[in-house]
Amino acid sequence: MKAKLEIVALVLGFLGLFGTITVTALPTWKVSAFIGANLIIMEELWEGLWMTCYRHIDIKMQCKVYDSLLVLPVELQAARGLMCVSIALVFIALIVTACGIKRSYCCGDNMKSKNITLAFGGCLYLLSFLTTLIPVSWVGHSIIKQFYNPTLLDAQKRELGQAIFIGWGTSGVLLATGIILLFRYSKRRTKEEDHYIDAYLMEEKSAAKDDSVYLAKAGSSFHKFQEYV
């Protein structure tokens, strides 16, 4: 059961990697809000980290890559960098975790090195959780703030897209993966410390036996005198 937790963490790590790549690539971070004067669905707009997509009625979706990074809002600029960092962190965390699981051939039979590797992988997952949650929540907060801004026209307002919800779900998966790995690290470390304590006590007992000297019980001189008489 304990080894299965590590396999579950690996599977969740693959899901986290797939989720971060999907969120980064999807253009549906911001989508058109069909409210008020913009109620008739004649044109749909998607805004992502890398491109914008338009879909007119009875016309296929047309996407265009941003001409310049500076035309993007601040939150989308930051989200670009943080999501790329998230992908790199999750990828490295997967490799590190694969080397730190108990059934791995990495580090040989050195459980101490495996434990340190497993803990490092868990920390990387927690860091990737933050680098995924922060940009997704930042963009989501910006969308909600602009949606309730009375000075903006209805056509300029946006709603939360699919990428935002997938990003929140992915960050939850990364958090769960990091917690599982650190939990396994603490259990394996406690077991390792108990093993060392038992070995130390056994060595002390054996050393005490080796140092002890057997002294035969000698009869008293008074007893010998009685036998002589």
Q: What is the pTM of this model?
A: 0.77
- Residue 38 confidence (pLDDT): 52
Domain locations in the chain?
2-210
CATH topology of domain 2-210: Butyryl-CoA Dehydrogenase, subunit A; domain 3 (1.20.140)
Q: What is the CA radius of gyration of the chain?
A: 32
Cα angle 207, 212, 218 (rounded to 5 degrees) comes to 170
Max Cα-Cα span within the chain:
132
Instruction: Name the amino acid, one letter, at 194.
Output: D
Full pLDDT tens readout for the chain, 229 residues = 556 888 888 999 999 999 999 999 999 999 887 766 555 556 788 899 999 988 776 677 788 898 888 888 899 999 999 999 999 999 999 999 888 776 665 665 666 777 888 889 999 999 999 999 999 999 999 999 988 888 877 777 888 999 999 999 999 999 999 999 998 888 766 554 444 444 444 554 555 455 554 444 555 554 444 444 4
Q: For position 41, what pLDDT does the model report?
A: 57
pLDDT for res 103: 63
pLDDT at 36: 60
Q: Smallest Cα–Cα separation from 10: which of 102, 87, 82?
A: 102
pLDDT of residue 201: 46
Give the Cα separation of 76 and 8 in Å (integer): 33
- The pLDDT score that the predictor gives to residue 72 is 86
